[in-house]
Amino acid sequence: MRRISSGLTVLALVSIFFLTGCGGEAVEENVLLAEWTGPYGGVPAFDKMELDALKPALEAAMAEELEEIDAIASSSEPATFENTIVAMEKTGKVLDRVETYYGIWRANRSTPEFREIQNEMAPKLAEHRTQITQNDALFARIKTVYESEELKSLRPDQQRLTWLVYNRFARSGASLEGEAKGRYAAINRRLAELHTAFGNNILADEEGYVTYITGEQLSGLPESFAAAAAAASTELGREGEYAITNTRSSMDPFLTSSNERDLREKVWRTYYSRGDNGDQHDNNTILTEILALRHERAQLLGYDNYAAWRLENRMAKTPEQALELMQAVWPAALARVREEVADMQAVADREGAGITIEPWDYRHYAEKVRKEKYDLNSDEVKNYLQLDKLREAMFYVAGELFNFDFVAVPEGSVPVFHEDVKVWEVTDKRSGDHVGVWYLDPYARQGKRSGAWATAYRDRENLVKLETVLGSNNSNFIKGAPGEPVLISWSDARTLFHEFGHALHYLSSDVIYPTLGGGVRDYTEFQSQLLEHWVLTEPVIENYLVHYQTGEPIPADLVAKIRKAATFNQGFVNTEYVASALLDMMYHTMDPAGLDPDAFEKEALAKLNMPREIVMRHRTPHFGHIFSSEGYAAGYYGYLWADVLTADAAEAFEAAPGGHYDKELAKKLVDNLFAPRNSVDPAEAYRMFRGRDAEIDALMRDRGFPVP
């Protein structure tokens, strides 16, 4: 164990440095390193986080974790589950705390100053992780436990933990030697730099390309959107104008409602050109290097390609099985697109528009078809979709299925990183026991990445003591005028429930070991996608989908129209998604030498017969899911894989005596599919819930496609 000569740990020495200063002058202790204090088992000091403290805190926390790891690796005691695997589970707690703050700056409060630190520290963090996974002595001890007789006597969750730890090290270059080991580490460092640059370039284009319009250009836009756009423009220093920001939450409703076709094209091109503008934020060179390095690293480990390595421990197991699922859906999606385009073109022709449907027309004319075919007006539906009411609806569902109670925390009693963030305590309705804390950061702003996501600042575990969950949901809704309710689209309402499903997964966790609180990528979206099916259940309809002006529940005939139109536009939805998932898999199963991303994207889509009226949901130069980190790399198909489980499980609830709120089935759901997290193999967990494997037929029925 590396110690300073005085016997103090590195972290202790750094803490002293911050208390006394380099010349003995007293300074404030680095709050990012401190234990979390306050209510609920301690909460992050978001109100005290200072950017100047971030770099030294990360460096000190990394040094502390290496000391902890070295102590395990250099132990003279024979390797056992307790002194090796369990001991490793107790390491890195300080770094976990610091990385929580780091994550807030990265996702919710990014600034040019933070990005400079991020560019420097991302490769250092990658190198730090590689130092641990390439620690020969540590891996030898892990391998000893993995191959020992002791393993057979352990509980199933302990056996799975050992397998997961061994597998993580073995698949991360632990067994490499000599030059190969050094090259692996160098690749990880460089990838961290490139992932960071890719993500920051997207954010720069989202912040830097804003379309400003005047009051004369609002034709077709609902008042609520216009008010939000005016507020956004004022915040950006352009009072009196209307800002169409370069994010999906602004682009999507504008393309749907605006009657100004030239502006629709401009907004569409601006959005889908992110990372592909030939300027200092262009991502094409970056992503080609990312692909080349991933391919090289996979081959160092003995795999044919990156996807083969990536999917080995996923539910899909192989790229071929993932592709098989996507290819089962693709023809049906294309056939539906042809029908949708024909319907839209017919509307345009009847109007005398004199146009051929283009990508910037799709949402606009799809809405006209929706109104014509189903007499369903999206703006009318939005009147019943108030953000605050939908949040209350989510709490109701959580109470009925999970026995959770959400109570707002008095403002100021829990620190937050922005005034828009609100906090709730979560308790068990039956026992009154504290379960965790839930943060909500709902609105778009400068420095916040686009989209919607969930994260946990602290996972539940019970290794040393019971740690309760600190979970968070984040969205990018456009804040309305002061005092006005925020009205959102039907799609955004489903997304809100979706991300809350992730939070419920965190809050339901019942694991002992931190590693088991993780997940398998093509499974972790299942829990969140399933929750979308509760948006249109009767109690939610009757009590929470109420008109923002009258307070009247959404009319039964409007609900019937929504249900009837449930499979509407599935050609567009599935094609834009599956195209992205297929390209992701192509990129990660090929030799990327000499790749021209723009040319490859066009050629690959042409071979797939991609309709010219639709673009990939995430074009390659801004495909942050797969290029700003490795989270969804060769794994974007996972949403579809998880949705097979989702559709199948939803049919189980539809057939249950108590429907979506059947208590017996809800208990099986929580006990088998939410609480265990990664302590049970996902396929086995699903069989315990359903009594069999999931079937693709349910997915095809859910989308209104022919069942194969």
Burial of 186: CB neighbours in 10 Å, binned 0-12, 13-18, 19+: middle
Enclosing H/E stretch for 424: strand 422-428
Q: Contact at 8 Å (CB) between 652 and 690?
A: yes
How far is it, in rounded angstroms, from Cα 592 to Cα 268?
Answer: 29
Q: Closest by alpha carbon to 416, among 438, 394, 392, 390?
A: 438
Backbone angles phi, psi at 428, to 5 degrees: -80, 120
Strand order across the 404-408 sheet: 404-408, 422-428, 434-443, 469-477, 453-458
Supply 573's token pair: 């939805």
State how far the Cα of 225 lies from the Cα of 218, in Å rounded to an integer.
10
From CA 523, how far away is CA 53, in angstroms rounded?
37
Query: What is the identity of the amino acid at 287?
Result: L
C-beta separation of 280 from 239 below 8 A: no
Residue 77: both structure tokens together: 């005691």
Q: CA angle 236-387-242, nearest 5°? A: 25
Residue 499 annotated as catalytic = yes
Bridging pattern class, strands 469-477 and 434-443: parallel
Do 469 and 42 contact (CB within 8 A), yes or no?
Answer: no
Contact indicator for 686, 694 with CB cutoff of 8 Å:
yes
3-state DSSP call for residue 443? Answer: strand
DSSP 148: S
- Single-letter amino acid code for the residue at 6: S
Q: What is the dihedral of CA 365, 366, 372, 377, to 10 degrees?
A: -100
DSSP for residue 4 = -
- The pair phi, psi for residue 492, each rounded to 5°, is -70, -30
Give the closest residue to 512 by CA, choosing from 676, 674, 686: 676
Give Cβ neighbours of residue 427 (< 8 Å, ≥ 6 apart): 404, 405, 407, 433, 434, 435
Q: Which helix or strand (DSSP H or E) is residue 423 part of?
A: strand 422-428
**Contact criterion met (CB below 8 Å) for 578 and 326:** yes
- Identity (one letter) of the amino acid at 91? T
Q: Which is catalytic among the residues 400, 499, 576, 613? A: 499
**Residue 630 DSSP symbol:** S
Please say whether the dihedral angle defined by the alpha carbons of residues 164, 170, 173 and 178, taken in this order, is positive or negative. Answer: positive
Q: In the 8-state DSSP scheme, what is residue 410?
A: P
Helix or strand run (H / E) with residue 404 = strand 404-408
User: Which residues have C-beta within 8 Å of that of residue 213, sequence separation ≥ 6?
Assistant: 229, 241, 242, 244, 260, 263
Supply the residues annotated as catalytic: 499
